[in-house]
Amino acid sequence: MPTDYTDRRTMRLDVEFYFAAAHRLPRYEGPCFRLHGHNYKFFVGVEGEVDPATGMIADFGKIKEVVAEEVLSRADHRNLNDVLDNPTAENIARWIWEVLAPRVTGLCEVRLYEIPDCCVTYRGPGGR
């Protein structure tokens, strides 16, 4: 018996990604002033109504493709100082948002972990 997917309430999906990169914080007085590396983990959050025809908010594969092209190809195994002037976790999360927003419909949040127990969340212009 087919399931009726006419319920169009807003839902959210998150896709998880990883990259390794080096950086130094040129405006920080402390150990992170020196070049060092992290194994970053980040989530891309997308919100939207479930399409009754597909039963999906967005295609996981398409999100993965865009993130690979726009973020991972520029950040993985790179020096993030070549991408950003001051690559703090906050600025990296905002940069990820800025490169994804034109291509990921419904983008609502980027959550970046620099170390396993510390993260920053960016919800874009006007986000809470």
Annotated active-site residue in 47, 77, 90, 119: 77
On the question of pLDDT at 114 being above 50, the answer is yes
Q: For this structure, is 114 an active site residue?
A: yes
In this prediction, residues 53-58 reach a mean pLDDT of 92
Long-range pairs for 111-114: beta carbons < 8 A, 24 or more residues apart: 111/42, 111/43, 111/45, 112/40, 112/41, 112/42, 113/40, 113/41, 113/42, 114/38, 114/40, 114/89
Say what the pTM is.
0.91
Annotated active-site residue in 38, 70, 114, 119: 114
- Look at 49-58, 71-80, 104-113 and tell me which has the smallest mean pLDDT: 49-58
- What range defines the domain where residue 53 resides? 10-122
- Provide the CATH number for the domain around residue 65: 3.30.479.10
Identify whether 2 is part of a domain: no
Identify whether 40 is part of a domain: yes
Q: Domain total for the chain?
A: 1
Identify whether 5 is part of a domain: no
Per-residue confidence at 9, pLDDT binned at 50, 70, 90?
Answer: confident
Q: What is the pLDDT of residues 14-28, one digit of tens each?
A: 999 999 999 999 999
Annotated active-site residue in 32, 90, 98, 119: 32
